[in-house]
Structure 1
Amino acid sequence: MNAILDAQGTQKMGRQNLERLRNAGVEVAKYHSGLWPDPRRYNNRTHRKLLMIDGKIGFVGGAGIADIWTGNADSPQHWRDNHYRVTGPVVAQLQASFAISWLKIRGEVLHGPNYFPPLANTGPYLAQAIRGGAHYENLDLMYLLAIASAQKTLRIENAYFLPDDLVRKELIEAAKRGAKVEIVVPGKKIDQKLVRLASRRHWPELIRAGVRIFEYRPTMVHVKLMIVDDIFVSIGSGNFDNRSIRLNDEANLDVLDRDFAAQQTHLFENDKKQSREVTPEELRGLHFANPFQQAAGLVAPQL
C-alpha cells in the first residue's frame, strides 16, 4: 500500500499517527516536506483526492480524510462535498497521476499488474482524467474551453471561486450569447473568509452580464462541479482559483454523458435550493465600501 500525503495539509496529523501507518506496512511519502533543497517548491502542494484499489477501482472528487467529511452536511462541522467511485480504463489514468507523483517524491517507478492490470470497459460513460499541476496547463485549458463551448447551460459549483480575468471574460461571454450561467459558492460558512471577500469583488460585473450566483447556506460547500449543456461534466479537486490552476497538483475527471450530467444536475439543483441568490443591490458600491475587500483583492492571486 502506497500513500502520498501533502506535507503542509497533514501537519496536524501527528508523528504518532504517521508511525502507526508505517508500522502497519503502509509506504508513506510526504509531498514537499520542507524548504530544502528548493524553497520554490514549498508553495506547490498536492491537493488531489485520489484512492485507487488494486488498480481496478478508483475514487475521485473533493473529499479528504478528516472529521469534516463525516456526517452528511448536517452541521457547520460537516461539509457538503461530492466524491465518486469509478471503474474501467480511466482508473489507469488516475493511477498514472499517482505514480508520477510517487516517482517525483521517491524516485521509484510503480509498474506491473498490481498497479496497472488490464481494464475492460464497465459502463457507457466516456471519461478522461485531467492532471493539473504547477507544470501542467491541462486544468486551466479544460475549464476555459468548456466555458467557451457552453451554448445553453453552464452550471458551476465551486468551493473557492476566484476566477482570473480570462475565465471571468468567458463567463460573461457565455451569458451574453444566451447560455444560462449559474454558480453555487459557499456563503458565510466558508473556511477561508479572505477567499469570499476577494471573490465578491468581481461579482457585480458577472451579475450585470446575466450570471446568477448563489451562496450555499447550511454549511461549507467544498464541491468542485461543472456541467455544460447537460452533457459534459467535470468533477474532482480543482477549484477556480490561482492555487488550483497554477500551484497545486490537482486531479479532475471529465465525463461526457447525458445521464450522468442529469444526475449531477439533480445534485446541483438540490444545493441551489438550499442557497440564496446574490442580488445586484447588495453588491452596489462593493469596490469602494469595504477596505477589507480591497485588501483581499490585492492578495487574491496568491490565494
Structure 2
Amino acid sequence: MRVEGTHGPLSVQQSESALARKNGSAETDIFNKHLAEVEGISESPLMSGNKVTLLLDGPATYKSMYAAIRDAKNNINMESYSIENDEVGRRFADALVEKQKKGVQVNLVYDSVGSASTPEEFFKPLIDAGGHVLEFNPLNPLLLRKKWEVGRDHRKLLIVDGQVAFVGGVNISSVYSSGSFRSKPPEKGAKPWRDTHVRIEGPVVREFQKLFAATWLKQNGKPLDWASYHPPIDKKGNEIVRAIGGSPDQEHNAIYVTLLSAIDSAKTYAYVTSAYFVPDARLLAALRNAARRNVDVRLLLPNETDSNLVFYASHSYYDELLSAGVKIYEREDAMLHAKTALIDGVWSTIGSSNLDWLSFAHNQEVNAIVLGQEFGDQMKAMFDRDIASSRLITLDRWRQRPIVMRLKEFGARLLSRWI
C-alpha cells in the first residue's frame, strides 16, 4: 500500500509505518485486507498530513463554512445539490457576492432538481459581480449544454483557496438552522435535521479540487486557470484521508465498492448511518454476512423521511436483516439526513452518498475516507449519541406491524431501483 504526503508518494516502508500507527486496534486487520482490495478502484490516493474536524449538524457546519469563506484570498469552489432561497441561502449568497467583489473568484455548481424551487434571480447578483454559476443538467431543455442525463449532482462540496475542503450531507437550507442534540425536545412541528459534515485541511484537498474540476469541465463551464487552483499545501495534521467521488460515468461506483469492501473486512463492528436506505442484493449480503460472523452490525436509520417511497422500501428489508442479527435503530427526535460509517473503530467515511440506487448508479456523490483510531473515537462518540436518541427495532415487534404497512412496503420495493 502506498500513501502520499505533501511532497509526493512515501516509500513502501514509510507508507506501512504510517498505516500501522493508524491501525490502533489489534482486533482488526481491515487495513491489510481492505486497502489492498480497493487500491485499484479509487483514482484518488491515500494522503497523509491532513487535519479533519468533525462537524455535527447545520449550525456548526455553517459557522465553519462562513469563516472559511470570509478568510478566502483567491478562489471559492462550491458544489451543492440544494441551495434554497431562504435565510441561510441568502446569507451564503451575500457572502459569496462580497468575496467576488473583492477579487476572489467564485465558481458555483448547483443541481437543477435539488434547487428547483430557487429562482434564477437568486444567482443574478453573484453573476453580475463576476462569479461563475453552473446549473447541473438543467431541466429546461433550452439551457442544456450537453446531452440530458437522468443523474443529479448530489454532492455537497466547498473548497476555499485550494487549502480547505468541506464534505458531508448538509445542503444550503434553513431546515438545518437548529441543532439536533438539545437539552429539551423541540416544539411540535419544529423537528430539527440531523446531519454530519467534515472540514478538511491538508494535501488531500487537492484531490477534492480535482473532483470539482471534473464536474466543471463535464458541464462545459467557463475555462478556468486550474493550475492556480492547486497551490502547494503544507502538512496540517496527522490524518490519512482519501477523497472519493462517485459518478454514473464510472464503470464501478468507487464509493459503493469501497464501503462494501470495508464491511466485508470488518472484524469487530460496523456502524452505518444512512438517511435513505434502499440496498441492493450485494450490500444486503455484506451486512448479513458480517452479522453472522459475529461482527456487531448496527444500522442507524430515520424514523421519518421526506420520501414515503424510500421510507417504505427501506422497511421492506428489515425482516431479513434483523433475522441475520443486524441491529436496526431509528432516530426519533430529529430528521436524520447523515451518511456516515465506522468500521472497527479505525475506518470512517462521511459524505453525500446514501445507500440507495440513486446514489449507487445515477448521482454524482463525494465522500471522505478517514483512517485512524483517534478520529474513529470521535465518530463512535457521535454514533453513540445518536443511538441514545433512537429506538431499537426488534424482530418480534416488527413482525406485528399491520398488513397495510406490509403492502406499502411491497409496492415501494418494486420501485426500489428508481427511488
Displacement, 1:165? Answer: 0.6
The match for 2:157 among 50, 72, 83 is: 50
Mind listing any 5+ residue stretches in structure 2 that lack a counterpart? 1-105
What is the letter of the counterpart of residue 13 of structure 1? T
What is the letter of the counterpart of residue 203 of structure 2? P
- Shift of the 110–285 alpha-carbon distance from structure 1 to 2, 3 Å rule, reads farther
CA contact (8 A) 1:79 1:219 kept: yes
Using the TM superposition, name which of 196-205 and 19-28 deviates more: 19-28
C-alpha distance after superposition, 1:225-272 (max 9, x if no partner): 100000000110011100001100000000101000110110011001
Q: Which residue pairs with 2:287 in the alignment?
A: 171
Q: Which residue pairs with 1:131 in the alignment?
A: 245
Aligned Cα RMSD in Å? 1.9
Q: Which residue pairs with 2:387 in the alignment?
A: 272
| TM value normalised by structure 2 | 0.69
CA contact (8 A) 1:3 1:29 kept: yes
The match for 2:316 among 201, 212, 218 is: 201
- Shift of the 91–216 alpha-carbon distance from structure 1 to 2, 3 Å rule, reads same
The match for 2:270 among 141, 151, 154 is: 154
- Shift of the 230–35 alpha-carbon distance from structure 1 to 2, 3 Å rule, reads same
CA contact (8 A) 1:61 1:83 kept: yes
Displacement, 1:20? Answer: 2.3
Within 5 A, what are the aligned runs for 1:51-130?
Answer: 51-73=158-180, 75=186, 76-108=190-222, 110-130=224-244
Displacement, 1:114? Answer: 3.2
CA contact (8 A) 1:54 1:114 kept: no
Q: Which residue pairs with 2:129 in the alignment?
A: 24
Q: Which residue pairs with 2:10 in the alignment?
A: none
Q: Percent identical across equivalent pairs?
A: 32
Q: Is 1:141 matched with 2:269?
A: no
CA contact (8 A) 1:88 1:119 kept: yes
Work out the CA distance in 2 between the residues paired with 1:33 and 1:283.
Answer: 42
Q: Which residue pairs with 2:99 in the alignment?
A: none
C-alpha distance after superposition, 1:182-207 (max 9, x if no partner): 1101003x111211100111111111
- Shift of the 16–107 alpha-carbon distance from structure 1 to 2, 3 Å rule, reads closer
Work out the CA distance in 2 between the residues paired with 1:88 and 1:109.
Answer: 26
Q: Which residue pairs with 1:182 in the alignment?
A: 298
SS for the counterpart of 1:8 is coil
Using the TM superposition, name which of 68-77 and 84-93 deviates more: 68-77
Work out the CA distance in 2 between the residues paired with 1:251 and 1:107.
Answer: 19
CA contact (8 A) 1:102 1:109 kept: no
Work out the CA distance in 1 between the residues paired with 2:401 and 2:414.
Answer: 15
Using the TM superposition, name which of 26-35 and 43-52 deviates more: 26-35
| TM value normalised by structure 1 | 0.94
What is the letter of the counterpart of residue 273 of structure 2? E
Displacement, 1:139? Answer: 1.2
Using the TM superposition, name which of 78-87 and 14-23 deviates more: 14-23
- Shift of the 92–167 alpha-carbon distance from structure 1 to 2, 3 Å rule, reads same
SS for the counterpart of 1:11 is coil
SS for the counterpart of 2:336 is coil
Q: Which residue pairs with 2:113 in the alignment?
A: 8
Work out the CA distance in 1 between the residues paired with 2:242 and 2:393.
Answer: 34
Q: Which has the larger radius of gyration?
A: 2
Displacement, 1:39? Answer: 9.8
SS for the counterpart of 1:295 is helix
SS for the counterpart of 1:265 is helix
SS for the counterpart of 2:167 is strand
C-alpha distance after superposition, 1:80-133 (max 9, x if no partner): 111111111111111111100000112555444531111122111100011101
Aligned residue pairs, count: 302
Q: Is 1:210 matched with 2:325?
A: yes
CA contact (8 A) 1:235 1:253 kept: yes
Q: Which residue pairs with 2:345 in the alignment?
A: 230
